[in-house]
Structure 1
């Protein structure tokens, strides 16, 4: 069968196809998130073949079917633009109903993205983040205002691109593909809050690129030197508090991270990544993190997940007046299943009228973490999520989910007197623009 790069792209759902619609760098040919795929149906007319089903369209590309930006989401991703500059972003509002606390609204994210094609070989992308309403009254509220990413890409060859700036650590899939309108759940997996603490960005520099050994295989790599984690590790919070400053370091050593991604055919991609850093001021304590990720799709079914192991030098932290030893290691994972559908009988309802490609998605997820494998306590947790969402158009989604939070000490020992009732019902709306 004749190889058609666009056909391969349009059938896909891979991380590495989350790229700009521009003719600069080789476009990955594996699977892309549903929101990008849905958008493609309205813009692509380069193929005479039958279009993909509603749950599997992909991003449009320019004439020579090349793209830039690596795996990162940018303002161009949603707008399918090439050349000049583009402003985009996403917004979400959540309603959270905890079991034993007052229900509340949270204006969780307002993200502004600016992407510029400065030259056919030079691309700039930045993302400014307002979280929980931003910062008010000199920072007295619990909001945030920060640069989430900001980098310059310079193409050296089709298989090598230099990147420097504030970079999303490329381990796993969700740290790069975390935008609210791209995800099918409101909450992120427990694993990606604790062991792989999204959103995790660091200043640094390095290279990425894509190789095509044959017409089916795609190999994507990233390798960067970064600021490096600190030694602020905690049982229960994992690596979250160890993410570094964007303007200074606590030692003279730098971190190194890399990921290799593989897609042998449309519908499957997987990756292996590693991160190494000296974490204390004397560079005598060290941490290594290893993460594997998977994305498999077959028709309306999709399975994605990540698993990671963090091995570190023995350390300690202060909690109140106590000094607590942390010996590790830390580990965790999540598996999330999706089923995309839109029943025929709903096409004439308010869910389908005047809409070309609406989609419902059923979601189920399990995630588990252990932030100190040397002991069993309430900080070892399991999360279960069941939910449904509705996308009237590609970049707008209404979500509803229920989250069970189980402490492993109760779950594994059968002593549920130690169980904490912290389950919650969560609804949200998210839009990309």
Structure 2
């Protein structure tokens, strides 16, 4: 039986049993049947078009699946070739230029996502100061490892080995984590960070690497007031903004804000460095808050403001700090300034109740073209020399251990640098030191320092 005949029979029976009372003529019946036939044919046509669409989509999906399979097969074959050849996707992009971390060596993931960066820096020093023995000092070897497993996930770390580590003769070295934190990226304005954090207080603590600095010795304020390198276990947020003010579009604002374990009771009237907390436990139930906001109105110009508050003992006594720093660059001249103050709530009269200090440093870059073909310039793309001058001081209140008044140390430093490349530097400098009461660093001893540092 044909499809049309079957349809006609069904329609006849349906129409016969469902005729309205007024449908008494053959013409009415025929009209109804014609209407039902057209509706049926429309439905059939729609179903046929739907089937054709699904068939096309299936063919398209099959093509995509075949394309993905082909890509995976090609990647697997390439990976097998690399394994057989014992090679990896490795590229040296230069220190600080990796997608994450400071290391200059980038190891690509052969499966097409994520990278790992490896690098570090090292320095060696020689010092000759009054009333002390001259000495060589293998000060630091730093290992930087960063990871970028996904475009929104990052890991940054810095492991420091000082004075050869703890197993050298006299056991006067150490190995410690200076940074080891994870980032969960949300957007430019707000991101999440947690781990062993480099505390965002002041400029020097954030840019303390030997190969970045133009003088061998850190400023007094960066050692005894801000306990550089200052690392805390904690978590918080960071981000940046680019507000537009009329036609002015160059302003950049960046911030870091963290909750950390905070400083403890280990400070004295010679510095805060002993108060750096454990990365394992807190000495009280309170958490400290620390943060820094930096404004950059133009490239290589910056002003930063830092703040800190946290209880340092179990009795509720707190340490509060504020800092201001700036960077000004005009052609070959760079001017860096930093000031910090920490006030301490006293639980007893034998506790130092304030720590403050500052430094101001001028760097002037230059190069003599006549040296291009000498051993100093030959083969290097952009070598340079730098004249450096710095004045720094620290002032800490007496904790009654000697009852001689507040402890202050002033230092003037004049230095000269040679950099064949940006991340290798030879430094030469002389210090003039003057101390009131207890010595914070060098006391009244003047002296000479020279060092070499390399970052990679």
User: Which residue is equivalent to 1:257?
Assistant: 290
User: Which residue is equivalent to 1:414?
Assistant: none
User: Which residue is equivalent to 2:318?
Assistant: 286
Matches within 5 A, 1:141-220: 141-214=171-244, 215-220=249-254
Mapped partners of 1:105, 1:141: distance in 2? 17
C-alpha offsets along residues 109-147 of structure 1, whole Å, 9 cap, x if unaligned?
A: 00111101010000011111100111116x952111011
Residue 192 of structure 1 aligns to a residue whose secondary structure is helix
Decide which of 262, 265, 269 is 1:228's aligned counterpart: 262
User: Which structure has greater helix proportion?
Assistant: 2
Decide which of 310, 335, 338 is 1:306's aligned counterpart: 338
Long gaps (5+) in structure 2 = 1-91, 109-113
Mapped partners of 2:107, 2:362: distance in 1? 31
User: Which residue is equivalent to 2:122?
Assistant: 91
Matched, 1:75 2:102: yes
Q: Is the radius of gyration larger for structure 1 or structure 2?
A: 2
* Equivalenced residues, count: 351
Decide which of 297, 303, 308 is 2:329's aligned counterpart: 297
Decide which of 257, 281, 304 is 1:248's aligned counterpart: 281
- Per the TM alignment, residue 212 of structure 1 is displaced from its structure 2 partner at its CA by 0.3
User: Which residue is equivalent to 2:423?
Assistant: 395
- Per the TM alignment, residue 161 of structure 1 is displaced from its structure 2 partner at its CA by 1.3
- Please say if residues 106 and 116 of structure 2, whose CA atoms lie closer than 8 Å, have aligned partners that are also in contact: no
TM-score by length of 1: 0.76
- Please say if residues 312 and 319 of structure 2, whose CA atoms lie closer than 8 Å, have aligned partners that are also in contact: yes
Mapped partners of 2:335, 2:418: distance in 1? 18
Bigger mean CA offset, 265-274 vs 299-308:
265-274
- Per the TM alignment, residue 376 of structure 1 is displaced from its structure 2 partner at its CA by 6.9
Residue 186 of structure 1 aligns to a residue whose secondary structure is coil
Mapped partners of 2:290, 2:373: distance in 1? 50
Provide closer, same or farther for how the CA distance between residues 420 and 85 of structure 1 changes in structure 2, counting only shifts above 3 A. closer
C-alpha offsets along residues 322-344 of structure 1, whole Å, 9 cap, x if unaligned?
A: xx723522211011110001112
User: Which residue is equivalent to 1:6?
Assistant: none
- Please say if residues 388 and 415 of structure 2, whose CA atoms lie closer than 8 Å, have aligned partners that are also in contact: yes
C-alpha offsets along residues 179-213 of structure 1, whole Å, 9 cap, x if unaligned?
A: 11111111110110011110000000001001000
- Please say if residues 59 and 80 of structure 1, whose CA atoms lie closer than 8 Å, have aligned partners that are also in contact: no
Bigger mean CA offset, 158-167 vs 324-333:
324-333
- Please say if residues 347 and 353 of structure 1, whose CA atoms lie closer than 8 Å, have aligned partners that are also in contact: yes
Superposition CA RMSD, Å: 2.5
Decide which of 143, 152, 156 is 1:125's aligned counterpart: 156
- Per the TM alignment, residue 348 of structure 1 is displaced from its structure 2 partner at its CA by 2.2
TM-score by length of 2: 0.72
Mapped partners of 2:202, 2:262: distance in 1? 18
- Please say if residues 269 and 352 of structure 2, whose CA atoms lie closer than 8 Å, have aligned partners that are also in contact: no
Residue 325 of structure 1 aligns to a residue whose secondary structure is coil
Residue 380 of structure 1 aligns to a residue whose secondary structure is strand
Which structure is higher in RCO with an 8 Å CA cutoff and minimum separation 6? Answer: 1
C-alpha offsets along residues 346-369 of structure 1, whole Å, 9 cap, x if unaligned?
A: 222211111110010111111111
